[in-house]
Every structure is written in structure tokens, then in C-alpha cells.
């Protein structure tokens, strides 16, 4: 069985997320999604999520491409996750290109092209802009 892993916040789930998960799953048989915890998002990324960790986890678990969702609590856990879950392929969006090449000694590292016209950041900006216009 070929195991694939990816990481993210997956707040305000949209079709760009679904595209990434579908393409990640196509690289193997079993997809592990490591979901940033609320504490990690705030402490390390300085992000406040609209949905809680548990709500985002529930949404991801409902997606047919996702086999397992586990929490991301720190930047350093990637190496141990790859080992613990016997990962063959590590997948991230191409905006992280090169950042996780250190994992190549443990597994294949793939950077997938993002869906260009959509992002959670852009959705939040658009919603704030619409709210400001009244």
C-alpha cells in the first residue's frame, strides 16, 4: 500500500482544497491529512481560523479522498509523521517548493500546483471588502 501525507489548515474549505486532496490521493492508496490545530495556527502562523479544529477535521473526514486526519501541533513533527505513518509520498502545494526537500531521505516529496484562482486568504479579503461596502 502506498501512503501519502499532506498538511494544511483547510479553513473555509473550497474547491482548491478538494483539487489538492484529489490529486494527492491519486499518488497513492491511503491519504493522511495533517490538520493544523487551532493553537498551532495562532502560535506559529498568527492565523485565527473561522472553523475550529474539530469542525475542520469533521469536514475533511467527510471527503472521500481522505483516509485519516491527525493534528499538526508543531513545524518539527513532519519527519516523525513520515516515519510513524510509513509514508511513501509527502505532498504540499507548490508555494512551499523546496521547503520540505529534507524529507527526501525518507520518502518522495511532491509539490503540486495550486488552483490559481482560489485561496482562503482571497476569500477572506473578498468577504471583508463586501462587508466594508455594506
Residues catalogued as catalytic? 45, 47
10 Å CB burial of residue 62 (0-12, 13-18, 19+) is: exposed
10 Å CB burial of residue 5 (0-12, 13-18, 19+) is: buried
For 70-100, the DSSP string reads EEE--TTHHHHHHHHTT-SEEEEEGGGTTTT
Amino acid at each position: 500500500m502506498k501512503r501519502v501525507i499532506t498538511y494544511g489548515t483547510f479553513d473555509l474549505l473550497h474547491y482548491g482544497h478538494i483539487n489538492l486532496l484529489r490529486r494527492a490521493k491519486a499518488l497513492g492508496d491511503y491519504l493522511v491529512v495533517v490538520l493544523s490545530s487551532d493553537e498551532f495556527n495562532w502560535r506559529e502562523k498568527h492565523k485565527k481560523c473561522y472553523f475550529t479544529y474539530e469542525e475542520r477535521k469533521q469536514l475533511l473526514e467527510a471527503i472521500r479522498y481522505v483516509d485519516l486526519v491527525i493534528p499538526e501541533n508543531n513545524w518539527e513533527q513532519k519527519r516523525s509523521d513520515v516515519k510513524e505513518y510509513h509514508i511513501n509520498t509527502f505532498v504540499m502545494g507548490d508555494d512551499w517548493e523546496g521547503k520540505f526537500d529534507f524529507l527526501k531521505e525518507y520518502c518522495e516529496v511532491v509539490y503540486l500546483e495550486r488552483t490559481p484562482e482560489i485561496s482562503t486568504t482571497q476569500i477572506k479579503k473578498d468577504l471583508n471588502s463586501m462587508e466594508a461596502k455594506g
